[in-house]
Every structure is written in structure tokens, then in C-alpha cells.
Amino acid sequence: MSRSRFQTVVLTACLLLLPAEALAQTGADYPGETDISVPMEIPRVDGSIQIDGVVDEPAWDEIDPLPVTMFVPVFQGQLTERTEIRVAHDDEYLYVSGRLYDSDPDGIRTNTFYRDQYSGDDLLAVVVDSYNDRETALWFTTNPAGTRTDRTVSNDGVFSGGSPMNFDWNAHWDVATSQTEEGWFAEFRIPLSTLGFQVVDGRVTMGLIVYRFIARKNERHIFPAISPRWGGLAFAKPSQAQRIVMEGVEEARPLYVTPYSLGGFNQVPEWREPASGGAGWESEADPTTEVGLDVQYSPLPNLSLDLTVNTDFAQVEADDQQLNLTRFPLFFPEKRQFFQERSSTFQFATGGGSNRLFHSRRIGLEGGEIVRIYGGGRAVGRIGGTDFGALSMQTASGNGRSSENMGVVRVSQEVLNPYSSVGAMVTSRVGSGAGDNLAYGLDGVLRLIGDEWLTVRWAQSFDDRVDEESVLEAGTLQARWERVQDEGVSYWGEFIRVGRDYRPGLGFQDRVGVRSLGGRLQYKRFMDAESPLRSATGQVTSRHFHRTQDGTAQSRSIEPEASIEFKGGTTIRLSADSRFESARADFVVAGTEIPAGDYWFHQGEAQLQLPRSQEFRGEFAASAGSFFDGQRVGIALGPTWNQSKYLELGGGYEVNYLDFQDREFSTTAHLARLRVQVALNTQISFSTLAQYSNVAELTTMNARFRYHFREGTDLWIVFNEGIHMDRHTLGEPVLPRSAGRSLMVKYTHTVGL
């Protein structure tokens, strides 16, 4: 590998990151939207607010409530209930109160005590763009029971390149609620040190969105008045948040130290053939005892440092199993808590859905097996218009690889206007004997005029195990033009080229050696107040992949879709998919071998999505059509039911019947999932996730008990087991019933210093 070549490229990237003057776009663009360009000063309080959820302090009455607007079901429609939301601050905290009056108090929905779970409840939420970058935000939500949900928003709430929401982020904050015959009431106290911020001339500027959701009416009251034209996540879109100003804020430097202790056992069956005879499976409990430490420190309000030693993720929920009906690898999201803090800083999408230059699941996981993490550190922050992040982790040897150091550095600089940026990323995977891998990327995301955006990204990898043919073949290029809005005509067009030798050692890439052209044209109309429909949408999406080696087609798809959304929240979608696949080698789909060849096949699908605000909700789909050289009929069911606020039952069942008449072969692939969540209150909860796949011939179970003493201090008891469903394989020893089990008890205790 040429180190000098890599260093030259990195230096070039740094030179491209010279600051540019920000030219803000101001004013409300559409009728009814608030002019968010005029900062609103948040009043100070004298600290006499008690966080008890009653909202009866005189300090609240001295503050004017925010002017809320109906967001759904009709933008700027007549509010059916009285909503009073107030915001204040002192030296250390941001306070938010809600007097959420309701003419039918028995209709107020409280469906769960389960942390970080939306279950069709009434809600009060606060969205804070704390770094004032108009792209990221922190999102705090509570229901009438005081159940807390916190998450982050990235990519300005736009779903291109994956979900912009991270539900696995947790923070230190307080909320309390109460309920009377008048309605329900809530008080938030969010430490400013949790938010992170920048001080300019003694003033702190942030973005703020608050909203109330009345579940039974599918009615959302919001401030500021954001139009639904901004898309499905418009009500939490950082760029459309009201700019707020606070003065005299104390620059706290919080230090949180979280040691953990863990004990338990792992039991994995092994085939043994002793010299004395009597070969067979043996399973012995392997006891485990561990201690570790996490440290969080913010030396500056706009800088966060994290250190971890002997990192363990025993309490993380198991991945949802997926049925792969393609010949390309599946993507699984990151759920581990350490990698969640401002994870959006490290985003570098390379186009095509889940492809990215850095995917943190490549750290500590190899081939589906856990690799011990000795420890590491991370720094993330923002200075002026520059976002930066650095991460370094050291892993133990495992699964055929030696001990490795994995690192990433990301820089992004605001240019032209507050919505545009250029940036660079460098990743490294270095270990003795495993083969070093280095990669870098350069990107620009530019809002050029109105809602028109241009995105350009380039990335290149250097791998000791790959003899790169050229710079072009070792890299990937993406160019995308799109109109970002959700009303009227919108579109995107995209060109992607991925070289045959592109291997991002810490990234995810589903295809190499291809160039792709794709696009979407959409028209969406929001209905008036008299219509039972909220919106109607029509769109067509098309993608075409060609091999870079000889220019032949690898894949093509044309997907028209029509959907309607009712004001109550029900959505119906009808779609079709005409697809071409050219395979030059046999491959396996759902346990079935597909011969090499060229295939055109066509399918249709109908989807029903029930309102997420209902006690019984979910998504249901049916599809049918040709499939490679055969036929496929599929049904997918995903119901969820809240029996009470103590019990939630969720399920999933996907069945695909594949029939290849010319080969006189047929098969049925089943994937089933059952999730049971029990919460006695906001502190004690129990969850079970059981999954079955007849393709893998495996049933897995993940059961977790949690006693949440307070934020950062928890007791976890976690049990995992896999069960072989087909133990008899021709020519092989009969498999044991258990594929392995583990029981872990973990205690974490956070101390604030």
C-alpha cells in the first residue's frame, strides 16, 4: 500500500475544509409558517420550579405560553383542545412545562411504562437543535405516566440514506407528570450540559420545536408552525426549528463515571472425540466475571469526551432476524450505547440505501461473533460552523483475526449557508497479521437554491490484501440532485460508481464493481379540512446497475407506487415492481438455489398501515408475482397490541411461498417473531424477544430484566438461548437441542462529579 499516496489525499481533504462565510436564508417561505429567522429570547427563572409535574409554580404564570398551531390532521386547522406550553431556563437547565387540557380526560391514552417505547400514547415532546447546526437535534418525549423517550435526529430529518432517527441514544434529564379531571401536565428539566452548546458573545443560540400529540384524535399541536410539506418528520426537523437565545448560561463541565460489574456463564456445545472413544456433544458452563468503566467528560460546552475500558454490551437487545430475498448482504443497525453519542457526526453515506464509509458494527463484531473490546475513546464537538469527531477502539484477537486498532476521524465545515457543508472522513483498521485497511472520503452537501440540493461524495480504500488496479477502481463516487419537500412535485436523481477494488474496512458496501443510475419522481397533495383524506401520493422509482468491467446490466428496477393517508392515520399503499437480475453464478435465496442466468420478473404488493396512535396497530402486506425462474406469494404481518400500560405484545410473521415449476421444486420460508414487554412502572421492566426461522432452522430467545434505579444506574439480568429446530442432517452427527445459552447479570452505577 502506498502510504505517501494516502497522506497526499488526506492533506488535500484538509485544504478543502477552509471556512466560508455563512449566508443564512431567512423568513417564512410558505403561508402559515413561522418566521424562524427572528431569534426568540427565552426567559430566565429564579430556580423556584419544582419538578413534580403539577405546573403550579408562580414562575410559570409569569411566562407567556408559546403560540401552537395544528400540524395534523389539517395544517393550521382549528385546535380541539387547549394547549399551554412554556419554556424557560436558568444557569444550568432548560425547563419546559405543559398544561395539556382535555375535555375528555378518560380519553387520554397512557399505554406504556416502557422506556424509549412509543405505544400510541398522548405525548409532550421537546426537540432541541443545541449546536444550532440546522441538521441535528436531541429529542425528549414523555407520556402522561412520565415514561421517558430520548433519541437523536440527523440529516435534518430527511430519510435519504437511511433513518435519521437514533432510538438507542440515552441522556441525563428529568421529567414529571400528573393527571387531573382537567387534563394532564408535565415538567421537563434538561441539563444544558446534556445538550451541549456554543457560547458566542455571552449568548447561546439553539433551535427549538415543541409539540403535543393527542393520540385518539391523531392531532398534533406544534411550535413553531412548521408545514407538513417538509416530509414525514417535519415536526422534528432541525432546520425549521425556532431559533432561541439564552443569556448568562453557565458553562458546566460535567464528569460522569460509570463502572460496571458483570457475572454469569456461557454454555456452547462442542463436538469432542476423546481417544478412549464415546464421541459426542459436550456442553460445559463457562463462568464469566468482568468489570469495566465508562467515563464521560465535557471540558467545554461544545466538546464531549468519552472513554471506555473493557467495554461490554451484554444488555443490548438481540438483532431482529431478517429474511434475505436478494443476493446481496443484509444491513443491521447499531444498537450499542457507547456508539450513540452524536453518532450523526460520523455519518458518511455513499449512496444506495445503507452503504456507508463507517459503520460502527464493524467494531467488536466479526462474522456475527462478538470480539472483546479492550477499550477506546471518542471526542465529538462543534466549533463555529465546524463539526468534528474522532474515535479509536482496540479489540482483542478473535474469529481468525489478530488484535486490531480501529479509528475514524470526521470533519464537516459549514459553507455558503447554514444548510450546506463540505467535509472529510478517514478510517483505519490496523492489526498485526490481519492486513491493514485505510480509507478516506470527501463530501459536499449543498443547498443551492430554494429546496434544491446537490450532494457529491468520493471515497477510496487502501487494503493490504487487495492489489488495487487504479484510483477509480479502489473508490466510489456519488452525485445526487434532489428537491427536498413533501408537497407537490419532488424528485431525486443519482449517479453512483463503485470500483471493483473498493473495500472500506470499517464500512458497509453491498455491491462493488458497478455503476448505477437511479431516480424518483413524486407528486403529493394535502387535502382540505372537509376531505377524509390527509394526503394522496403517486411516485415512480427506477434504478439501473451496470458492471464496470464490461458495461453489461446487473440489475434494473421500475417501481410505481400510489398511497393515500386518512386523517385518522391509516395509510394504504399499492405498488408494483418490475425487476431484471443478471447472475453469473448460482446463488441461494431463502435456502433455495437460483441458477445463474438473466431474469425479468414482476410483482405487485398491497400494504395497510394502521394508525401508530392506536392501542392495536401495525403494518400488514401481501405480495405476489414472478420471482427469478419461478413464482412467489408473500404475506407479512406486524401487529402490536397494548393490553394495558403494563403489557405490550408485538409480533411479526413473514411467509414466502416459492414455486419453481420448471425445476419441479417449491419451498416455503417462514420467519416469526414475538416480543413481550412488561413494565410495572418506569423503573421495573421485563422484555422477551423470541424468533424463529425455518431457513436457518433455529429458534432464538433474548430475555431482559431491568431495574432502572435512576439515569445511568441499572441492574440487568439477560438470558439468551438458541434452539436447533432441525437436528438431523444427512451424514452429520445429530445436533444438540441447544445451540448455546448464556445468563448474565450486569450492574452499572453512574456517579456525577
Q: How many other C-beta atoms can be found within 10 angstroms of the C-beta atom of residue 539?
A: 17
Maximum average pLDDT range among 111-125, 298-312, 325-339, 510-524: 510-524
Q: What ranges make up the beta strands (E) of 218-276?
A: 219-223, 242-247, 255-267, 270-272
DSSP secondary structure, 587-643, as one string: EEETTEEE-SEEEEEEEEEEEEE--TTSSEEEEEEEEEEEETTEEEEEEEEEEEEEE
- Taking the C-alpha atoms of residue 140 and residue 71, their distance in angstroms, rounded to an integer, is 19
C-beta separation of 178 from 184 below 8 A: yes
Q: Give, in degrees to the nearest 5, the angle at Cα 366 between 361 and 370.
A: 85
> According to the model, what pLDDT value does residue 32 have?
56
**Residue 28 phi, psi (nearest 5):** -85, 130
Taking alpha carbons only, the member of 557, 556, 600 closest to residue 575 is 557
Give the model's confidence band at 731: pLDDT under 50 very low, under 70 low, under 90 confident, else very high. Answer: low
Checking if the pLDDT of 327 tops 90, the result is no
Helix H or strand E encompassing 61 = helix 58-61
Q: Hey, what domains does the chain have and what are their CATH numbers?
A: 44-247 (2.60.40.1190)
Coil, strand or helix: which one is 192?
helix
- Taking the C-alpha atoms of residue 156 and residue 12, their distance in angstroms, rounded to an integer, is 28
DSSP secondary structure, 547-588, as one string: ETTT--EEEEEEEEEEEEEETTS-EEEEEEEEEEEEESS-EE
Name, in order, each residue with C-beta under 8 angstroms of 460's C-beta and a sequence gap of 6 or more. Answer: 9, 439, 440, 441, 471, 474, 475, 476, 502
> According to the model, what pLDDT value does residue 318 have?
81
Q: How many other C-beta atoms can be found within 10 angstroms of the C-beta atom of residue 126?
A: 25
Name, in order, each residue with C-beta under 8 angstroms of 629's C-beta and a sequence gap of 6 or more. Answer: 594, 595, 597, 599, 660, 662, 663
Q: Of how many residues is the chain composed?
A: 753
Checking if the pLDDT of 533 tops 60, the result is yes
DSSP secondary structure, 691-733, as one string: EEETTTTEEEEEEEEEEEEETTEEEEEEEEEEEES----TTSP
Write the pLDDT tens digit of every residue in 375-423.
999 999 888 889 999 999 999 886 667 888 999 999 999 998 888 999 9
> According to the model, what pLDDT value does residue 22 have?
32
Give Cα 213 distance to the centre of its chain.
22
C-beta separation of 459 from 504 below 8 A: yes
Amino acid at 228: P
List the single range of 272-286, 539-553, 600-614, 714-728 with lowest mean pLDDT. Answer: 272-286
> According to the model, what pLDDT value does residue 500 have?
94
Instruction: Please confirm whether the linkage preceding 532 is cis (ω < 30° from 0).
Output: no
Taking alpha carbons only, the member of 690, 664, 661, 688 closest to residue 676 is 688
Expressed in percent and rounded to 5, the helix, strand and coil fractions of the chain are 5, 55, 40
State mean pLDDT over 589-603.
91
Give the model's confidence band at 23: pLDDT under 50 very low, under 70 low, under 90 confident, else very high. Answer: very low
> Which three cell numbers, joined as nine digits, stand for 530?
372537509
Amino acid at 338: F
Q: How many other C-beta atoms can be found within 10 angstroms of the C-beta atom of residue 670?
A: 14
End-to-end CA distance of the chain: 46
pLDDT top residue among 559 and 269: 559
Coil, strand or helix: which one is 33?
coil
State mean pLDDT over 456-464.
95
Checking if the pLDDT of 16 tops 50, the result is no
State mean pLDDT over 177-203.
90
Percent of the chain scoring above 90 in pLDDT:
57
Helix H or strand E encompassing 212 = strand 203-214
> Which three cell numbers, joined as nine digits, stand for 398?
478473535
Burial of 190 (0-12, 13-18, 19+ CB in 10 A): buried
Q: How many other C-beta atoms can be found within 10 angstroms of the C-beta atom of residue 162?
A: 16
Helix H or strand E encompassing 194 = helix 192-195
Taking alpha carbons only, the member of 598, 604, 508, 497 closest to residue 556 is 598
Q: What ranges make up the beta strands (E) of 224-336?
A: 242-247, 255-267, 270-272, 280-282, 285-300, 303-311
User: For strand 183-191 and strand 199-200, is the pairing parallel, antiparallel, or unpaired?
Assistant: unpaired
State mean pLDDT over 422-437.
87
> According to the model, what pLDDT value does residue 432 have?
61
> According to the model, what pLDDT value does residue 31 have?
54
Supply the mean pLDDT for the chain: 88
Helix H or strand E encompassing 685 = strand 684-693
Name, in order, each residue with C-beta under 8 angstroms of 252's C-beta and a sequence gap of 6 or more. Answer: 92, 191, 192, 193, 298, 301
